[in-house]
């Protein structure tokens, strides 16, 4: 049996009534050194929005190449049995063409 769930404190993290634009800038903390003062990062600057995905328009020739490779691969495999009965090279060429067609299908959006 699973142990009971742990209860967390929960509740509000920021004070009630605050908005991201109304926050006062964080005061710079200065050390006793003569070096530059380090400033704190404001809480609202921690959020990084998701990067937008580029809208790619696939070229029109991708589906044409995909269909040509798939049909050509099937014809090459059939040609091995009808024309070149003593060699397996047309079968290998046909399989490579079919794999190329499947690869082109993954690039077509």
**pTM (2 decimals)?**
0.47
Instruction: Encode pLDDT of 23-56 as tens digits.
Output: 655 544 445 555 455 556 555 667 777 777 666 6
Q: Which pLDDT score is estimated for 17?
A: 79
Domain boundaries, the chain: 61-107
Distances (CA, A) of 8 to 3, 13, 32, 53, 102: 15, 13, 40, 37, 51
What is the C-alpha to C-alpha distance for residues 109 and 98, in angstroms, rounded to an integer?
19
pLDDT, average across residues 44-72: 79
């Amino acid at each position: 049996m699973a142990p009971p769930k742990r209860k967390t404190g929960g509740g509000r993290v920021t004070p009630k009534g605050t908005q991201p634009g109304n926050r006062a800038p964080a005061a710079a903390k200065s050390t006793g050194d003569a070096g530059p003062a380090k400033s704190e990062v404001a809480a609202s600057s921690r959020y990084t929005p998701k990067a937008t995905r580029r809208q790619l328009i696939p070229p029109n020739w991708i589906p044409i190449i995909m269909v040509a490779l798939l049909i050509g691969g099937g014809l090459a495999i059939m040609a091995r049995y009808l024309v070149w009965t003593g060699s397996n090279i047309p079968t290998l060429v046909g399989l490579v063409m079919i794999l190329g067609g499947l690869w082109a299908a993954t690039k077509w959006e």
